[in-house]
Every structure is written in structure tokens, then in C-alpha cells.
Amino acid sequence: MSKDRQKLGKLGEKIAAEFLKERGYQIIDQNYRTRGGEIDIVAKEGETIVFVEVKTRISAEFGYPEEAIDGRKQHKLAMTAEHYLAAHRLYEVDYRIDAVGIEMERDGRLINLRHEKDVVGW
């Protein structure tokens, strides 16, 4: 991954975390990695654990950012979320997987942010 794409991704994750905090979510972890995948943000909304995939794009020319979360990616997110819950001994908790899609100008200005809840079809 190019340095510019990494930088854009980190900026998007920062914007998404701030957006969630402003709406009452508690950020409990970021960039949780396993051999099988990564969760960008782990948050809590009330008693629900929320795993958040952040997709950031400079343009929507190839579709909205969150549309990149296809079936394969959803499966990886679900497996990584289950790994997180087991590793932290969080049994019998409610959880879901959300997506935050961010569109930005080349100069870093935010164009649009969409928060989609419960994006993984169980």
C-alpha cells in the first residue's frame, strides 16, 4: 500500500473515531489485527460492542467507499470480530459490525461521511 493511501486511511479512521465519539460511542480499541484480518475501530454503544470498518476515498468515481465491503470482506470482519471477543473473554455480549464511508477532497477536506449500522448479513 502506498504511503499516500496509508495516510488517507489513517486520516479517515481519525475522522470516524471523532464522529463516533461525538455520538456517544466509547472507543475501546483501534487497529486490532489478527492473521485473518483487521478491525479499524472497536467501540461501545451502550452495552453493545461495535466493530467498525472505515473506508476512505478521494472520489466516489468507483462507487461509495463502503461498497468495497463485499461478501469476502464481511466474512473476514466477522471472523476478526469473533476472535476479538474470544481473546477479550467477552462472552454473551451483543455486538454488530458497522461501516463508516468517508469521501474527501484531495486537500483533506471532508465531503461526505456515511455511517451504516449492522453491515454484515448473518
User: Does some domain include residue 121?
Assistant: no
What is the spatial distance between Cα 53 and Cα 45, in angstroms, rounded to a whole number? 15
Q: Residue 49 belongs to a domain with what CATH number?
A: 3.40.1350.10
User: How many domains would you assign to the chain?
Assistant: 1
Residue 3, all three cell numbers: 504511503
pLDDT digits (tens, 9 = 90+) for 5-51: 788 889 999 999 999 999 999 999 999 999 989 999 999 999 999 99
Tell me the residue range of the domain where 12 lies. Answer: 3-116
What is the spatial distance between Cα 122 and Cα 113, in angstroms, rounded to a whole number? 25
Residue 117, all three cell numbers: 449500522
User: Does some domain include residue 104?
Assistant: yes
User: Does some domain include residue 76?
Assistant: yes
User: Does some domain include residue 122?
Assistant: no
User: Does some domain include residue 79?
Assistant: yes
Residue 64 clears pLDDT 80, i.e. is over it: no
pTM of the model: 0.90
